[in-house]
Amino acid sequence: MILFLLDFSNFDFDQLFAMNDDSNPIMMLVWILPIILFVFYGQRIQLYVTSGEIKKAIKKLDSFREESRDELIDYVKKNTIPENDPTVKLDRFLDYFTIMPVDMDPNGIVDKVRHTVRAREDYTREHIRTLSPQISDFELTKIQTLLEIASSLQMIFKIVNHMFLTAKKQNNYPLILPLQMILPFIMEQAEAMNEAISAFKSGQPVGDGIGPMIVGKMMLNCEKETISFQTILAKTDFEDRHLFLLKAEGPGSTVGRPADALEKIISENSIDAIIMIDAALKMEGEDSASVAQGFGAAIGGIGTERFQIEAVATTKNIPIFSIVVKQSVKEAITLMTKDIADKADETRLQVYEMIKDNTKQGQSVVIIGVGNTVGVPQ
């Protein structure tokens, strides 16, 4: 065997890796190869990097979906007396969908949407009752809300997973960019809904219930009556003004139908002002539980209730004032925080102040507590 001993003592490394020599082949490769790599495989590399983050989010969404389904089935079995195993029927409910009416001709679209949404709510309510004919209205509203949460989480998971798999199948990085950008907001909503389950199961107030809580306190020692579906009316006086107090029927998990109630009140009485109290999403940087006053109908949802309220107020030339308690998405649908609950009395005083500033003695005001009234009796 012949051993060759190489002498590196005279080897010029500076010359080999010379930075100031454009003709150096190794340095040319060091600079050119990454450029070629990113030109031909850049999208695929970016897709792989982004895919890891999205896969983690999809896995978390899948766990939310499974947890909400299991919580729903477990709650139905423990708190009702189902005649048969409710699992199959509840799984069928989770895949229900709603097709909104055609809006090519906008004339009458609000009535069509209202009919579709209410028909779906009535259908869900009656089919939940078939699980256990002896179920109370209080338990029914909670199960209906839990079903909506589980159904929403399942739909979110399916949409995000579909968008991800489509982009991956096509090796299309631009297709996955919109998903990457909106994913943090989707996860915020999903995590909030997942945490909301415990509050609705136990029938405790959520942040969105601050409006009904304020009006509920104003209803104390007043005679109550049901004026529309799951909506309560009480009448009282304040400094020679006649007050009509409206809120959803608590402590069940419902938002009632305040627009129908308002329409009935206005048809039978002369109303001079409407005041709406609701929760509102705060902007980033704003303090949670801050109170703000404004003008217009403060009510969320798909818009049918708001349209109906604005229409009847416009017909009768009635001004609509609003007071909102600001909070985050998570705070709105999870257990009401102490900071938000402590604002109830302060906001109620602002309502009385608004009544004095905008009406005269002898006039009538409708005050509506908007929001989910779970855990908030009247």
Indicate if 219 and 353 belong to the same structural domain.
yes
Count structural domains, the chain: 2
Q: Final residue of a domain: which of 169, 187, 202? A: 202
Q: How many other C-beta atoms are found inside a 10 Å radius of the C-beta of residue 259?
A: 24
Mean per-residue pLDDT, 38-47: 68
Write the DSSP string, 249-308.
-SSSS----HHHHHHHHHHHS---EEEEEEEEEPPTTSPTT-EEEEES----SSSHHHHH
112: in domain = yes
Indicate if 176 and 318 belong to the same structural domain.
no
Residue ranges making up the domain that contains 360: 207-369
Q: Final residue of a domain: which of 202, 222, 239? A: 202
Q: Fill in the DSSP letter of residue 207.
A: G
Q: Final residue of a domain: which of 202, 232, 263? A: 202
Q: Which two structure tokens, joined as six digits, stand for 286?
A: 């704003």
CB contact at 8 A, 374 and 199? yes
- From CA 353, how far away is CA 122, in angstroms rounded? 39
Nearest 5 degrees, angle CA 114-CA 128-CA 307? 15
pTM of the model: 0.85
What does the pLDDT read at residue 20?
54
Q: Does 53 or 322 have the greater pLDDT score?
A: 322
Indicate if 196 and 233 belong to the same structural domain.
no
What does the pLDDT read at residue 83?
77
9: in domain = no
377: in domain = no
- From CA 309, how far away is CA 130, in angstroms rounded? 34
Q: Whose structure tokens read 């509506």?
A: 368
What does the pLDDT read at residue 1?
42
Indicate if 159 and 217 belong to the same structural domain.
no
What interhelical angle do 173-202 and 25-79 show, nearest 10?
Answer: 30
What does the pLDDT read at residue 15?
52
- From CA 233, how far away is CA 222, in angstroms rounded? 10
Indicate if 119 and 88 belong to the same structural domain.
yes
CATH number at residue 241: 3.40.50.1470
Q: Which of 310, 198, 216, 201 is nearest to 256 (CA)?
A: 216
Say whether pLDDT at 6 is over 50.
Answer: no
- Length reported for the chain: 378
How much is the mean pLDDT over the chain? 88
Indicate if 220 and 106 belong to the same structural domain.
no
Exposure string (b/e) for 274-304, b if CB count within 10 Å is 16 or more? bbbbbbbebeeeeebbeeeeeeebbbbeeeb
104: in domain = yes
pLDDT in tens, 293-318: 999 999 988 899 999 999 999 999 99
Q: Whose structure tokens read 């699992």?
A: 87
- The mean-pLDDT minimum among 3-12, 168-177, 367-376 falls in 3-12
Q: Which of 81, 340, 82 is nearest to 204 (CA)?
A: 340
Say whether pLDDT at 34 is over 90.
Answer: no
Q: Which residues pair with 294 in a beta bridge?
A: 322
Indicate if 111 and 54 belong to the same structural domain.
yes
Indicate if 272 and 152 belong to the same structural domain.
no
Q: Which two structure tokens, joined as six digits, stand for 298?
A: 């403060």
